[in-house]
Protein backbone atom coordinates (compact mmCIF):
# COMPACT_ATOMS: atom_id res chain seq x y z
CA UNK A 1 0.00 0.00 0.00
CA UNK A 2 1.38 3.40 -0.95
CA UNK A 3 1.32 6.05 1.75
CA UNK A 4 1.57 9.23 -0.32
CA UNK A 5 -1.82 10.37 1.00
CA UNK A 6 -0.56 10.55 4.58
CA UNK A 7 1.13 13.57 6.09
CA UNK A 8 4.67 13.23 7.39
CA UNK A 9 3.44 13.22 11.00
CA UNK A 10 0.76 10.60 10.25
CA UNK A 11 3.37 8.39 8.59
CA UNK A 12 5.68 8.81 11.57
CA UNK A 13 2.99 7.65 14.00
CA UNK A 14 1.66 4.80 11.88
CA UNK A 15 5.08 3.43 10.96
CA UNK A 16 6.01 3.24 14.64
CA UNK A 17 3.21 0.69 15.07
CA UNK A 18 4.97 -2.28 13.53
CA UNK A 19 3.56 -5.12 15.61
CA UNK A 20 0.10 -6.02 16.94
CA UNK A 21 1.39 -5.45 20.46
CA UNK A 22 2.57 -1.92 19.68
CA UNK A 23 -0.71 -1.15 17.94
CA UNK A 24 -2.62 -2.34 21.00
CA UNK A 25 -0.45 -0.26 23.32
CA UNK A 26 -1.13 2.82 21.18
CA UNK A 27 -4.89 2.24 21.28
CA UNK A 28 -4.77 1.76 25.05
CA UNK A 29 -3.06 5.13 25.43
CA UNK A 30 -5.54 6.84 23.11
CA UNK A 31 -8.37 8.40 25.16
CA UNK A 32 -11.80 6.85 24.78
CA UNK A 33 -14.09 8.73 22.43
CA UNK A 34 -17.19 9.23 24.58
CA UNK A 35 -18.77 11.22 21.71
CA UNK A 36 -19.62 14.32 23.82
CA UNK A 37 -21.02 16.15 20.79
CA UNK A 38 -22.97 13.21 19.33
CA UNK A 39 -22.22 9.95 17.53
CA UNK A 40 -19.07 9.81 15.42
CA UNK A 41 -17.36 7.45 13.03
CA UNK A 42 -13.94 9.01 12.50
CA UNK A 43 -11.71 7.78 9.70
CA UNK A 44 -8.21 6.71 10.82
CA UNK A 45 -6.93 10.17 9.79
CA UNK A 46 -9.57 11.87 11.94
CA UNK A 47 -8.76 9.57 14.87
CA UNK A 48 -5.14 10.73 14.74
CA UNK A 49 -6.24 14.34 14.42
CA UNK A 50 -8.76 14.30 17.28
CA UNK A 51 -6.69 12.01 19.48
CA UNK A 52 -9.52 9.76 20.64
CA UNK A 53 -11.43 6.69 19.45
CA UNK A 54 -14.18 4.22 20.26
CA UNK A 55 -14.20 0.58 19.20
CA UNK A 56 -14.96 0.89 15.46
CA UNK A 57 -12.67 3.87 15.06
CA UNK A 58 -9.89 2.11 16.93
CA UNK A 59 -10.34 -1.08 14.93
CA UNK A 60 -10.05 0.81 11.65
CA UNK A 61 -6.90 2.57 12.83
CA UNK A 62 -5.42 -0.79 13.85
CA UNK A 63 -6.32 -2.20 10.44
CA UNK A 64 -4.45 0.65 8.74
CA UNK A 65 -1.35 0.09 10.86
CA UNK A 66 -1.44 -3.63 10.05
CA UNK A 67 -1.84 -2.83 6.36
CA UNK A 68 1.24 -0.60 6.37
CA UNK A 69 3.34 -3.62 7.38
CA UNK A 70 1.87 -5.80 4.64
CA UNK A 71 -1.19 -7.38 6.25
CA UNK A 72 -4.83 -7.31 5.17
CA UNK A 73 -7.04 -4.74 6.91
CA UNK A 74 -9.52 -7.20 8.43
CA UNK A 75 -12.28 -6.46 10.94
CA UNK A 76 -14.42 -8.77 13.05
CA UNK A 77 -17.93 -7.62 13.98
CA UNK A 78 -19.45 -9.04 17.17
CA UNK A 79 -23.19 -8.56 17.55
CA UNK A 80 -25.36 -8.85 20.63
CA UNK A 81 -28.93 -9.09 21.80
CA UNK A 82 -30.92 -5.87 21.45
CA UNK A 83 -30.19 -4.75 25.02
CA UNK A 84 -26.40 -4.54 24.59
CA UNK A 85 -23.82 -2.88 22.31
CA UNK A 86 -21.99 -4.55 19.42
CA UNK A 87 -18.19 -4.57 19.35
CA UNK A 88 -15.63 -4.45 16.51
CA UNK A 89 -11.99 -5.56 16.57
CA UNK A 90 -9.16 -5.74 14.03
CA UNK A 91 -7.95 -9.21 13.06
CA UNK A 92 -4.41 -10.42 12.33
CA UNK A 93 -2.77 -13.80 11.73
CA UNK A 94 0.43 -15.36 12.97
CA UNK A 95 1.47 -18.91 12.00
CA UNK A 96 -2.03 -19.71 10.69
CA UNK A 97 -3.66 -18.55 13.95
CA UNK A 98 -5.92 -15.55 14.50
CA UNK A 99 -5.51 -12.76 17.03
CA UNK A 100 -7.37 -9.48 17.61
CA UNK A 101 -6.63 -5.85 18.48
CA UNK A 102 -9.37 -4.09 20.40
CA UNK A 103 -10.21 -0.53 21.49
CA UNK A 104 -12.51 -0.79 24.49
CA UNK A 105 -13.19 1.15 27.67
CA UNK A 106 -13.84 -2.00 29.70
CA UNK A 107 -11.56 -4.40 31.52
CA UNK A 108 -12.71 -7.15 29.15
CA UNK A 109 -13.38 -7.54 25.38
CA UNK A 110 -9.73 -6.66 24.82
CA UNK A 111 -6.64 -7.89 22.89
CA UNK A 112 -6.47 -11.54 21.88
CA UNK A 113 -3.21 -13.38 21.35
CA UNK A 114 -2.87 -15.14 17.95
CA UNK A 115 -3.64 -18.62 19.28
CA UNK A 116 -7.05 -19.24 17.69
CA UNK A 117 -7.30 -21.65 14.77
CA UNK A 118 -10.47 -20.13 13.32
CA UNK A 119 -12.26 -16.79 13.41
CA UNK A 120 -15.21 -18.47 15.12
CA UNK A 121 -12.90 -19.80 17.83
CA UNK A 122 -11.60 -16.28 18.40
CA UNK A 123 -15.10 -14.79 18.42
CA UNK A 124 -16.21 -17.33 21.01
CA UNK A 125 -13.32 -16.29 23.27
CA UNK A 126 -15.36 -13.16 23.99
CA UNK A 127 -18.53 -15.03 24.89
CA UNK A 128 -18.25 -15.37 28.68
CA UNK A 129 -16.96 -11.81 29.10
CA UNK A 130 -19.83 -10.33 27.11
CA UNK A 131 -22.66 -9.67 29.58
CA UNK A 132 -24.88 -6.91 30.89
CA UNK A 133 -23.62 -5.14 33.97
CA UNK A 134 -27.14 -4.79 35.36
CA UNK A 135 -28.15 -8.45 35.54
CA UNK A 136 -25.30 -10.61 34.20
CA UNK A 137 -27.19 -11.63 31.04
CA UNK A 138 -24.77 -13.05 28.44
CA UNK A 139 -25.45 -11.22 25.20
CA UNK A 140 -23.09 -12.27 22.38
CA UNK A 141 -25.20 -13.63 19.52
CA UNK A 142 -23.32 -13.58 16.20
CA UNK A 143 -20.18 -12.54 14.35
CA UNK A 144 -19.06 -11.53 10.86
CA UNK A 145 -15.52 -11.67 9.60
CA UNK A 146 -12.96 -11.37 8.43
CA UNK A 147 -14.36 -8.25 6.71
CA UNK A 148 -11.74 -6.84 4.32
CA UNK A 149 -11.72 -3.03 4.35
CA UNK A 150 -9.99 -2.82 0.97
CA UNK A 151 -13.53 -2.87 -0.46
CA UNK A 152 -13.74 0.77 0.64
CA UNK A 153 -10.45 1.95 -0.87
CA UNK A 154 -12.21 3.90 -3.62
CA UNK A 155 -13.98 5.89 -0.91
CA UNK A 156 -10.68 6.76 0.80
CA UNK A 157 -11.77 5.30 4.14
CA UNK A 158 -8.27 5.61 5.59
CA UNK A 159 -7.61 9.29 4.93
CA UNK A 160 -11.12 10.69 4.55
CA UNK A 161 -11.75 14.17 5.93
CA UNK A 162 -15.36 13.12 6.43
CA UNK A 163 -16.75 10.52 8.81
CA UNK A 164 -16.98 7.00 7.35
CA UNK A 165 -20.37 5.77 8.45
CA UNK A 166 -20.53 3.42 5.47
CA UNK A 167 -18.11 1.08 7.28
CA UNK A 168 -20.31 0.30 10.32
CA UNK A 169 -23.36 0.35 8.04
CA UNK A 170 -21.75 -2.41 5.97
CA UNK A 171 -20.84 -4.35 9.11
CA UNK A 172 -24.48 -4.24 10.18
CA UNK A 173 -25.71 -5.38 6.76
CA UNK A 174 -23.24 -8.19 6.02
CA UNK A 175 -24.20 -11.78 6.77
CA UNK A 176 -23.45 -12.87 10.35
CA UNK A 177 -23.01 -16.35 11.77
CA UNK A 178 -24.93 -17.20 14.95
CA UNK A 179 -22.99 -18.46 17.96
CA UNK A 180 -25.93 -20.02 19.84
CA UNK A 181 -29.09 -21.98 19.20
CA UNK A 182 -32.42 -20.85 20.66
CA UNK A 183 -32.22 -23.65 23.18
CA UNK A 184 -28.76 -22.56 24.29
CA UNK A 185 -29.93 -18.98 24.67
CA UNK A 186 -32.86 -20.09 26.82
CA UNK A 187 -30.60 -22.01 29.21
CA UNK A 188 -27.83 -19.46 29.68
CA UNK A 189 -26.73 -18.80 33.25
CA UNK A 190 -26.12 -15.20 34.30
CA UNK A 191 -22.59 -14.05 35.09
CA UNK A 192 -21.72 -14.26 38.79
CA UNK A 193 -21.85 -11.15 40.95
CA UNK A 194 -18.06 -11.08 41.25
CA UNK A 195 -17.73 -11.06 37.44
CA UNK A 196 -20.24 -8.22 37.24
CA UNK A 197 -18.37 -6.29 39.90
CA UNK A 198 -15.08 -6.75 38.04
CA UNK A 199 -16.86 -5.54 34.91
CA UNK A 200 -17.38 -2.13 36.51
CA UNK A 201 -13.72 -1.26 35.87
CA UNK A 202 -13.25 1.22 33.02
CA UNK A 203 -10.06 2.56 31.49
CA UNK A 204 -11.27 6.10 30.81
CA UNK A 205 -13.71 7.54 33.34
CA UNK A 206 -16.86 9.17 32.01
CA UNK A 207 -20.58 9.04 32.58
CA UNK A 208 -21.03 6.75 29.57
CA UNK A 209 -19.58 3.24 29.55
CA UNK A 210 -19.06 2.97 25.80
CA UNK A 211 -17.63 -0.13 24.17
Task: Supply φ then ψ for residue 71, to 5 degrees.
Answer: -105, 165
Range 47-71 average pLDDT: 97
What's the length of the chain?
211
Domain boundaries, given as residue ranges, for the chain = 8-198
Q: Please state, in angstroms and rounded to a whole number, the distance separating the CA atoms of residues 56 and 90.
A: 9
Which of 2, 52, 171, 36 has the alpha carbon at shortest distance from 44? 52
Range 162-179 average pLDDT: 98
Q: At what angle do helices 55-68 and 8-15 cross, to 10 degrees?
A: 90
Range 75-98 average pLDDT: 97
Residue 145: pLDDT above 80? yes
Q: Which residue has the higher pLDDT, 206 or 146?
A: 146
Residue 200: pLDDT above 70? yes
Q: Please state, in angstroms and rounded to a whole number, the distance separating the CA atoms of residues 62 and 84.
A: 24
| Per-residue confidence band for 106, with pLDDT thresholds at 50, 70 and 90 | confident
| Per-residue confidence band for 199, with pLDDT thresholds at 50, 70 and 90 | confident
Instruction: Report whether 8 contacts 183 (CB < 8 A).
Output: no
Residue 10: the pLDDT is 96
Q: Please state, rounded to an integer, the average pLDDT across all residues of the chain.
A: 94
| Per-residue confidence band for 3, with pLDDT thresholds at 50, 70 and 90 | low
Range 106-134 average pLDDT: 96
Range 53-72 average pLDDT: 97
Residues 6+ apart with CB under 8 A from 147: 74, 75, 76, 77, 170, 171, 174
Amino acid sequence: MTDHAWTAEERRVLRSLRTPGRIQDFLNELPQNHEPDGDTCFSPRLVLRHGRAHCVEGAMLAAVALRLVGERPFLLDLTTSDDDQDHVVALFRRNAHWGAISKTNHAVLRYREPVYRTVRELAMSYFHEYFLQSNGKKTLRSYAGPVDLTRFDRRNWMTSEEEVWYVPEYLCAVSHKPVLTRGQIASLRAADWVERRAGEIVEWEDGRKTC
